Structure 1
């Protein structure tokens, strides 16, 4: 499969007193070329385009409180054929989000609380007349709350934490029994916590920094929409260490060496499942990556 998507967008920010408004528009062109090498497979090409809009409004109080509201649309091409060998229309999404940000005057910190309502329509669901195919009759709604806090604990230490609770369910489907059920392989609760350390500029190890943190999920639904089961939640630890090469010599300013470890303890865990016969997906094993970057 070859997928090409090109877009142009226009965005402007307006201010009046302590009010801030953001308006944006984007137009995308998508081209998908699929080659199916399976017996009786079908090759097909499809081209789609769409315009999506977004708008945001917030107010900046003098005490550091900033309530806001955001509305946005999305566009996602669908790479499938129906029972008549016709490509499906792109799926469309719509987001409403309201929240408040707080940046205390006396603390180097930022706190965010947000509630959201996200819908996605034209979702593929099983064709009731031919279960080997799909129809585009589904609609999924996600409602939830997001919390995020970030701050400087001291000159050397900073912390970032985030948590999301979401209630995701089908609100429309070709099969009425599916309405009200949770989609498969979508978590209802997940979050992360990350602690950073940066050596003091006057110390012998100036330029050295490190971080450690964890991410977790409470599990998802596996099986089929008609016969679901729960997978276990999991948590993994990540870590990184980096060094600013500019502290070695002025000629190396802008250079940075970084080593990152995902799933540091090499924990074995399940991220999601299909049916009992089709099996489950294990999470990624420990992976250590080194990176050299340069900013000019």
Structure 2
């Protein structure tokens, strides 16, 4: 299955510097986002699946505060031009374990502009994985995000912030 989406969205009432008191924010700004999202899903035989997705976003300030006219036309902070993800999973049906599924993937987020600090937030790539077992209506799963425990900067607003470290979460769910 292939999907493609092109979009143009305008967000009004974005917070910008208040022209009366610059220590405050007021909702008089506007941001326009244009982009394309592409996704491909396929079965690689009876037990394997592959999903790939790509997003291009050009988000720019179209209206700003009278005290910050230089912001008009600039890229919106913390919004990357490019994002990409790839995920694959395999069900062990050919080995007599049809309920066992193992999956893994990568996520890439391109560089972004910082908000109130000078500079650019660098791109990063993360690896995720999942192991699950399904029996009847029950699903037992173990998910790991940022499997390599990569240290990365996720965003910069008034300061820069690290992204989430490795996370491993187990779950039990019942499907009705």
Interval of TM-score (by shorter of Structure 1 and Structure 2): over 0.9
Alignment-derived partner of residue 162 in structure 2 = 282
2:78 to 175, 185, 188: 185
* Equivalent residue runs for 1:254-273 within 5 Å: 254-273=137-156
Q: What TM-score comes out, normalization by structure 2 length?
A: 0.93
**C-alpha separation between the residues in 2 aligned to 1:292 and 1:133?**
46
Between the two proteins, the alignment pairs up a number of residues equal to 174
Alignment-derived partner of residue 113 in structure 2 = 221
Shift of 1:223: 4.5
Shift of 1:129: 2.3
Q: What TM-score comes out, normalization by structure 1 length?
A: 0.57
1:235 to 111, 125, 131: 125
Q: Secondary structure at the match of 1:265?
A: coil
CA RMSD of aligned residues (A): 1.4
* Equivalent residue runs for 1:6-17 within 5 Å: none
**C-alpha separation between the residues in 2 aligned to 1:137 and 1:206?**
56
Shift of 1:205: 1.9
**C-alpha separation between the residues in 2 aligned to 1:223 and 1:134?**
14
**C-alpha separation between the residues in 1 aligned to 2:118 and 2:73?**
13
Q: Give the unaligned 5+ runs of structure 1.
A: 1-109, 246-252
Shift of 1:113: 1.6
* Equivalent residue runs for 1:67-86 within 5 Å: none
After superposition, the C-alpha distances for 1:184-240 in whole angstroms (9 at most, x for unaligned) are: 22222112110011112x53222100110011111211142xx74211100000000
Alignment-derived partner of residue 250 in structure 1 = none
Q: Which moved more, 1:234-243 or 1:132-141?
A: 132-141
Q: Is the 8 A contact 1:222 1:273 kept in 2?
A: yes
* Equivalent residue runs for 1:65-144 within 5 Å: 110-144=1-35
Q: Is the 8 A contact 1:219 1:271 kept in 2?
A: no
Following TM superposition, where does structure 1 have runs of at least 4 consecutive aligned residues deviating by more than 6 angstroms? none
| Structure showing greater Rg | 1
After superposition, the C-alpha distances for 1:247-266 in whole angstroms (9 at most, x for unaligned) are: xxxxxx20110000000111
**C-alpha separation between the residues in 1 aligned to 2:96 and 2:141?**
19
Q: Is the 8 A contact 2:78 2:115 kept in 1?
A: no
**C-alpha separation between the residues in 2 aligned to 1:147 and 1:189?**
12
